[in-house]
């Protein structure tokens, strides 16, 4: 605060007046006069350079009405806020002949209130709303210095540049906005008629206090206005999203919800507000716990509804914590259908876990036993190793275990055999932007990171490169992952379900698979029996696949002839359930007149259906390996070496088919 009250006795009115006279008449430099404040002296010199007439009878210029109206509109909040304070100030100052003015940041008078005793004098000098009182127009004044110094200023008599203010005291204080920019000035002035300073030493402090009060109220009103706009925007945003948002208080009462909540929960909006969340959503211990302890929960899978038997959804909770005393004042809950997260994960290489144990078809004793064991495994958080031939349904069991375990996060599948060696590290562990040529510039999370809170399914784990295995082992041990090119570890919590059709233990003995990783993955083992070992399931599965495909094709389910049933029971099914499904789709497509006959089956099944029990001339049973090789040769002959169609007929993947061709040393000449 610059207080130019000049309380020192040596700075009398006449001394300052004499300094001003010498400056105006003799052009003496006031900056060298010890009785003149440096700020005032600089302003005098600047006013003369601007050509301002210190003896002018009328000061300032006036804005045209249209421009003035625009300024009044722009400054309406400031004017409306300041008026009550100005009225209060009148009661204190007007008996002494004060004038109160409100100016904007450009010196334009927005409002003036003048005591009747001096009203005529001020009006003659153009002290009216719309008058432009800038330093460039009227020279040195308190409000001019206030704008320049951005501090409260008080000037007396001859410290002003123009004659009119010689018997005037004036105090001005700035009004700032929330960005510390001046938006206005509050000014108080009075006229005295003697040769000595006639000033109230408290005037500057009073003006400063009122300017500060006006400033705070303007800022608060702006913030409230922005908050109302923000709330309106938020409400409009929440109304346009299909995610449900619920605000609950510390007692669990739903105090604010959006329309999507009503649609997701199936209740009218007006019946939800004010109701305890458990009344609508059912018993939700996880929500209650999070509300009690102020916990954050992200994308937790829940069943919403009474007795938790309703719709399966994902739920996130953000507690509302008081910043002052850190007390929990409630929470904001977001709910949305779980298929949204599944679709997101699927888009990044994951798989929607849509299968449960109910989707596993069969009635054999062997299958029932393995399902019971898998359900028991689901209750444990330990890693699982699923063993079984190609096509036995290892991923079906993996998804069922994931869903039965009610893991909060997604199910992410990785086929270790299908990924090129050069990409498997970035796919598993992710990478930062710019790590390698062709990489996403924003970086990308790996499959392990995406599986956080859920399950990662490592299919064909036996084909994982040996050099990648120690990195995976470290992630499993430390529960944290670092992206390629990254510098920080990311905490991850996931369950591993690995699957293979290879003998991992033999690979360990041959030093082709790490022993420590093997034991880390095989805490729990699940051996899926091949289809030939549960023959009673073959016909059940065949009818299931035909019925399902008929429904999709919107045709009547055909009758399966006895000869077909005999053929599929006698066939060895090297491709297991997957091959059986493809064979039934093929048979259904070839069937006519509502019946599936033997000649509708794929050729390899017709030709090899009896070889399962065929005995050679020396009474030895033909090995399954030879049967499988023969089936591949016949499939390749039937398709004219089209590996894609041959793989579909055999019920195996093309990658597996290529491996089998290499394993059995099948040459092109054999397939002609």
**pLDDT tens per residue, range 300-348:** 767 676 544 456 677 788 887 765 566 777 888 888 765 555 455 544 5
Q: What gap in Å lies between CA 428 and CA 555, rounded to an integer? A: 43
Regarding beta strands 311-321 and 297-304, do their DSSP bridges make them parallel or antiparallel, or are they unpaired? antiparallel
Q: pLDDT tens digits, residue range 44-99?
A: 999 999 888 888 877 778 888 888 888 888 898 899 888 888 887 777 665 556 78
Contacts of 425 (CB under 8 A, 6+ apart): 468, 471, 484
Higher pLDDT: 17 or 121? It is: 17
List domains and CATH numbers for the chain: 2-221 (3.30.450.40), 241-340 (3.30.450.20), 348-527 (3.40.50.300), 532-671 (1.10.8.60)
pLDDT at 198 over 60: no
| CB-based burial label for 55 (10 Å; 0-12, 13-18, 19+) | exposed
Which of 303-307, 496-500, 665-669 is the least confident region?
303-307
pLDDT(157) > 80: yes
Query: What pLDDT was estimated at residue 203?
Result: 77
Residue 416 tokens, joined: 């270790």
pLDDT tens string 571-618 = 889 899 999 999 998 888 888 888 999 888 888 787 654 444 443 334
pLDDT in the model for residue 451? 87
How many CB atoms are closer than 10 A to CB 190? Answer: 20
Alpha-carbon span 85 to 91, nearest angstrom = 10
User: 73-88 in b/e burial notation, b at 16+ Cβ within 10 A?
Assistant: eebeebbebbeebbee
Q: Where are the alpha helices (DSSP H) in 97-252?
A: 119-124, 135-138, 142-149, 203-240
pTM of the model: 0.47
Better pLDDT: 218 or 94: 218
Of 441 and 654, more confident: 654
Query: Cα dihedral sign for 303, 305, 310, 315?
Result: negative
Mean pLDDT computed over every residue of the chain: 81
Q: CA–CA separation, 263 vs 162, rounded Å?
A: 73
Q: Is the pLDDT of residue 511 over 60?
A: yes
Tokens for 226, please give them. Answer: 């922005």
């Amino acid at each position: 605060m610059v207080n130019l009250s000049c309380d020192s006795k040596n700075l009398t009115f006449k001394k300052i007046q004499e300094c001003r006279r010498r400056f105006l008449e003799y052009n003496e430099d006031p900056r060298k006069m010890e009785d003149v404040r440096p700020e005032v002296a600089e302003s005098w010199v600047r006013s003369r350079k601007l050509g301002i007439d210190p003896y002018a009878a009328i000061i300032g210029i006036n804005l045209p009405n249209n421009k003035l109206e625009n300024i009044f509109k722009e400054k309406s909040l400031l004017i409306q806020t300041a008026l009550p304070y100005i009225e209060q100030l009148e009661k204190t100052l007007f008996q002494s002949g004060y004038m109160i003015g409100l100016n904007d940041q450009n010196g334009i008078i927005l409002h003036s209130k003048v005591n009747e005793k001096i009203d005529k004098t001020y009006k003659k000098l153009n002290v009216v709303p719309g008058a432009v009182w800038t330093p460039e127009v009227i020279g040195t004044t308190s409000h001019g210095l206030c704008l320049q110094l951005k501090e409260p200023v008080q000037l007396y008599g001859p410290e002003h540049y123009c004659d009119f203010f010689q018997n005037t005291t004036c105090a001005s204080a700035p009004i700032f906005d929330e960005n510390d920019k001046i938006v206005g000035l509050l000014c108080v002035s009075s006229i005295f008629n003697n040769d000595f300073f006639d000033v109230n030493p408290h005037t500057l402090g009073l003006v400063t206090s009122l300017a500060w009060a006006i400033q705070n109220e303007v800022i608060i009103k702006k913030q409230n206005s922005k908050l109302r706009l923000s709330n309106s925007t938020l409400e409009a945003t929440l109304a346009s999203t299909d995610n449900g948002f619920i605000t609950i208080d510390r007692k669990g009462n739903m105090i604010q919800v959006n329309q999507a909540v009503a649609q997701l929960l199936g209740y009218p909006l007006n019946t939800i507000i004010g109701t305890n969340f458990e009344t609508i959503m059912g018993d939700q211990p996880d929500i209650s716990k999070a509300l009690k302890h102020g916990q954050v929960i992200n994308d937790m899978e829940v069943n919403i509804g009474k007795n938790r038997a309703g719709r399966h959804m994902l739920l996130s909770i953000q507690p509302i914590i008081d910043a002052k005393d850190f007390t929990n004042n409630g929470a904001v809950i977001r709910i949305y259908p779980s298929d949204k997260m599944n679709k997101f994960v699927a888009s990044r290489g994951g798989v929607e876990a849509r299968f449960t144990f109910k989707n596993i078809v069969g009635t054999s004793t062997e299958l029932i036993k393995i399902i019971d064991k898998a359900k028991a495994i689901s209750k444990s958080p330990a890693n699982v190793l699923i063993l079984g031939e190609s096509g036995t349904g290892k991923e079906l069991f993996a998804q069922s275990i994931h869903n039965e375990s009610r893991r909060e996060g997604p199910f992410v599948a990785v086929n270790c055999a299908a990924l090129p060696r050069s990409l498997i590290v970035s796919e598993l562990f992710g990478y930062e932007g710019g790590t390698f040529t062709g990489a996403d510039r924003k970086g990308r999370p790996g499959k392990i990171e995406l599986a956080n809170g859920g399950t990662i399914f490592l299919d064909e784990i036996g084909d994982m490169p040996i050099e990648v295995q120690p990195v995976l082992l470290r992630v499993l041990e430390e529960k944290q992952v670092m992206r390629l090119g990254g510098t920080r570890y990311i905490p991850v919590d996931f369950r591993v379900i690995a699957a293979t059709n290879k003998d991992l233990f033999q690979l360990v003995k041959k030093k082709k698979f790490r022993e420590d990783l093997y034991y880390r993955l095989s805490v729990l083992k699940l051996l899926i029996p091949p289809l030939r070992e549960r023959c009673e399931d073959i016909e059940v599965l065949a009818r299931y696949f035909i019925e399902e495909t008929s429904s999709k094709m919107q045709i009547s389910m055909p009758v399966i002839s006895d000869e077909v049933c005999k053929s599929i029971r006698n066939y060895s099914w090297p491709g297991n359930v997957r091959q059986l499904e493809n064979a039934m789709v093929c048979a259904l497509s070839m069937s006519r007149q509502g019946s599936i006959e033997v000649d509708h089956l794929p050729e390899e099944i017709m030709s090899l259906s009896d070889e399962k029990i065929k005995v050679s001339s020396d009474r030895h049973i033909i090995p399954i390996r030879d049967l499988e090789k023969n089936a591949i040769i016949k499939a390749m002959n039937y398709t004219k070496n089209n590996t894609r169609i041959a793989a579909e007929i055999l019920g195996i993947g093309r990658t597996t088919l290529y491996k089998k061709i290499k394993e059995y040393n099948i040459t092109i000449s054999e397939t002609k």
